[in-house]
Amino acid sequence: MAAVTIRPAGLADVARLNTALRALSAGMGDSHRARDADLAQAGFGATPAFHALLAERGGETLGVAVYSPLYSTTRGRAGAYVSDLWVAAEVRGKRLGQRLLCAVRDRARAQWGGGFLRLAVYADNPGAQVFYTRLGFGVMQGDIWMTLEGPALDAIGGPE
C-alpha cells in the first residue's frame, strides 16, 4: 500500500479541496456555501486569504487542512489559524490529523515565522476536543469568539 503524502494544494486542486471541505461540513451538520470558484479566488487569487494542504494516497484525497496567518500582540508573534481540518473516515485514528497539523506548523514557520496554532472546536464535538487536547491544545479561558457579517458588517461606521 502506498504511503500517504502531504503537499500544498494548488489551483488545480480546488475541486478536490472543496469535495473534502463539503464532507467536513456535512459531518459537522453545517451548511456549505463555498463553491469551487469561491475557493479558487480566496485561496489562489492575487491575494490569497488561506493556504491549504492535501493528504493523498494514489490520487485519493484522505485529508485536508486549511489555514491562514494571524498575529497576536499578546504572544508577540505570528501564528496560524486552522479553519478546517478533515480526515477521511477510513484513515481516522492513524495519526493523519496530527501529521496535517505538523505540516501546517512547519509551513507557517517557514512562510511567516509562525510560532503557534489556533483553532476552534465545536462544543458538541467531544471527539475533536479529546483529539486536540491529546496533542496539547488548551482552551483559552475567557475567550469568546464573535463574528460580524452581512448587514451589520456593512453598517460599521454608518450614521449614529
Whether residue 1 is predicted with pLDDT greater than 60 in this model: the reply is: no
**Within a domain: 22:** yes
Looking at the structure of the chain, the number of domains it has is: 1
Model pLDDT for residues 24-68, shown as the tens digit of each residue:
999 999 999 999 999 999 999 999 999 999 999 999 999 999 999
Whether residue 158 is predicted with pLDDT greater than 90 in this model: the reply is: no
**Within a domain: 18:** yes
Q: Which of 12, 13, 11, 39 is nearest to 25 (CA)?
A: 39
pLDDT value of position 2: 73
Model pLDDT for residues 133-148, shown as the tens digit of each residue:
999 999 988 888 889 9
pLDDT value of position 160: 61
**Within a domain: 158:** no
CB–CB of 109/115 below 8 Å?
A: yes
Q: Give the position of cell 503524502.
A: 5
**Within a domain: 67:** yes
Model pLDDT for residues 89-134, shown as the tens digit of each residue:
999 999 999 999 999 999 999 999 999 999 999 989 999 999 999 9
pLDDT value of position 149: 93
**Residue 114's CATH number:** 3.40.630.30
**Within a domain: 154:** no
**Within a domain: 60:** yes
What is the crossing angle of helices 14-28 and 36-44, to 10°?
A: 110
Structural domain for 16, as ranges: 5-139
Helical ranges in the chain per DSSP H: 14-28, 36-44, 96-112, 126-135, 150-155
Q: Which of 104, 45, 97 is nearest to 69 (CA)?
A: 104
pTM (2 d.p.): 0.93
**Within a domain: 43:** yes
